[in-house]
Chain A
Amino acid sequence: MALDPGIVPEGRRTFMQEVIAATPGGDPHLELCLQCGTCGGSCPSGPDMDHTPRQLFAMIAAGMREDVLKSNTPWFCVSCYYCVVRCPQEIHITDIMYTLKRMAIEEGYYRESSAAEAPDFSETFIDFVEHYGRSFELGLATRYHLKHHPLGMLKMAGMGLNMLIKGRMDLKPTRIEHLDQLQAILQKAKELEGKD
């Protein structure tokens, strides 16, 4: 019988139970993994991952917390959902990848992975959303690339310029009208999640 993470006291949960508990929205079925490799075979970025999703799940089952959270695998997930629809055990793989990203950020392990910049991209993106209610491509690109690829910036600049010329990028972010309302909602959500 699957252990319901809800009834295992927090301090005594296995790593797998923790991952399951931190994945909202229906039962992610992680404990059912057959190790068949369908996910690893389907994953478009599989060849560039430190571990295939399947391996990662075996590592989770083995309680290899550090190795899992240091792996670049979750950060290379492109959210294509191929593995999800193909997994014979109906495991919510993509959602679990998101959970692992969150755990890796929280515990700081991501810095040691080969995708150490990825969280920064997400965070920069979110920063704009939280401040304006909408995303802001120009700001995102400049801020993120200046920080991580100052040289690559030049390469990107061409594309950015083109975007501006084609009228596909704005110079200023758009702000929603009731930004305060959105911010109150997000603030409350953070509180509820204990991430204040």
Chain B
Amino acid sequence: MPNRYAYYPGCSLEKNARAYHISTLYVAEKLGVALEEVPDWNCCGATEYFAIAALPAYALVARNLALAQGMDWNGGQRHLVAPCSACFLNLSKTDHYMADSPQLAAQVNEALAAGGLHYDPGAVFVHHLLDVIVDDVGYEKVQEMVTKPLFGLRVAPYYGCLVTRPDYKHIHNEPEHPFCLDDLLAALGATVIDYPVKTACCGGHMTQISEDTALELIRRLLKAAADYRADAIVALCPMCQLNLDGYQAQVNKHFGTDYHIPILYFTQVMGLAFGATPEEIGIGKEFVDARPVLNKIQEKPPEEGKKRRKKRRDKQALPMPELLRTHTGRK
């Protein structure tokens, strides 16, 4: 594990996703992940700036990369971590495209020079918080920190779009049906459902542009979680959390449904298992109250003993092929 990461919280974590910020810092401290905020970072432009202008959008993102590059790294490899999926994507995309296209790199740097900055493509390795936890920290270390396992809590691992897709740096190698968050949650003792829409879209900014479109996308996610009897959905992006949480009531009104599925950040769930009080990790800030489902957490693993009995093969059933797991992690 690198001994230090530049931390890019992004605008959401300052405001609507404060709970994510708090819990990230909590978990990072427990796991010995040293985070140092990028000085005077600016907004990444979300999905909006690229729609208006290309070069300014890249330059906006690149200023953050340049600031991260300029931090004191003692000659070591520079690592930058963003907990927000959109920030992560914009940062890694800008780095990737600048490396891929010398013409773009030259223009972006010409713009940066107007502010006395410079960025060398590839200088900073951009991570999402998830891959820092699963690949750099590792499941074992996480498991060591668990003091209150989440036995009995049924969780839907929800990755959303941008962490595993397009995966410019081939960190995950599982764009469609990843497992790393599943494995992480299982390491915390939770029961992880086989969430079929784990990488489906939360609607992004469509809530603002075409609400009907967005509500339908949100409904699909809630329905699948409910169909699999999930107690909570675990998210790793402020936008996903806000859409599923903040618009849940509206979905219920629009479709005549009655979902009450709390949406937690994966760092909050980790914090719980590490023994944090709900307040320490920002639980209570969500619209759909998470506290009732926390009562489902039990002392003992569910259906213990049953597990050991090997599933007897149904005489007539045909054998089932094994799943292929392709997560590569950062090499």
Contacts and interface: CB of A to CB of B under 8 A. Distances in A.
Q: Do A and B bind each other?
A: yes
B243 to A, nearest CB: 11
B97 A126 contact: no
Most B-side CB within 10 Å, residue of A24, A118, A167, A195: A24
B276 interface: no
A134 B56 contact: no
B97 A185 contact: no
Interface of A: 22, 24-26, 44-45, 48, 75-76, 78-82, 84-85, 94, 98-99, 101-102, 105, 115, 117-119, 121-123, 125-126, 129, 133-135, 137, 144, 159, 162-163, 166-170, 174, 176-178, 181-182, 184-190, 192-193, 195
A168 B111 CA distance: 34
B18 interface: yes
B314 to A, nearest CB: 34
Contact of A135 (B46, B209, B213, B217): B46
Interface stretch (B198-206, B222-230, B323-331): B198-206
B246 interface: yes
Interface in B1-45: 11, 14-18, 40-43, 45
Contacts of B155: none
B48 A163 contact: no
Contact of B60 (A168, A186, A193): A186
Contacts of B284: 166
Contact of A81 (B55, B166, B203, B287): B166
B246 A159 contact: yes
Nearest to B164: A85
Contact of B63 (A162, A163, A185): A185
Contact of A193 (B46, B48, B54, B205): B54
A48 B210 CA distance: 9
Interface residues of B, number: 69
A102 B55 CA distance: 11
Most B-side CB within 10 Å, residue of A78, A99, A178, A188: A78
A85 to B, nearest CB: 4
A187 B100 CA distance: 24
Contacts of B60: 129, 182, 185-186, 189
A82 B100 CA distance: 21
Contacts of A185: 59-60, 63, 111-112, 114-115, 117
B136 interface: no
B259 to A, nearest CB: 16
B63 A182 contact: yes
Interface in B167-222: 167, 175-176, 200-201, 203-206, 208-210, 212-213, 217
Contacts of B93: 25
A125 B12 CA distance: 13
A119 B56 CA distance: 16
Contact of B43 (A22, A98, A133): A133
Given A48-B210, A85-B175, A182 B100 contact: no
Given A45-B213, A79-B204, A188 B101 contact: no
A136 to B, nearest CB: 8
A168 B18 contact: yes
A137 B15 contact: yes
A166 B287 contact: yes
Contact of B52 (A82, A102, A162, A177): A102
Interface string B50-65: 1111111011100100
A159 to B, nearest CB: 6
B101 A25 contact: yes
Contacts of B250: 159
Nearest to B175: A85
A158 B103 CA distance: 47
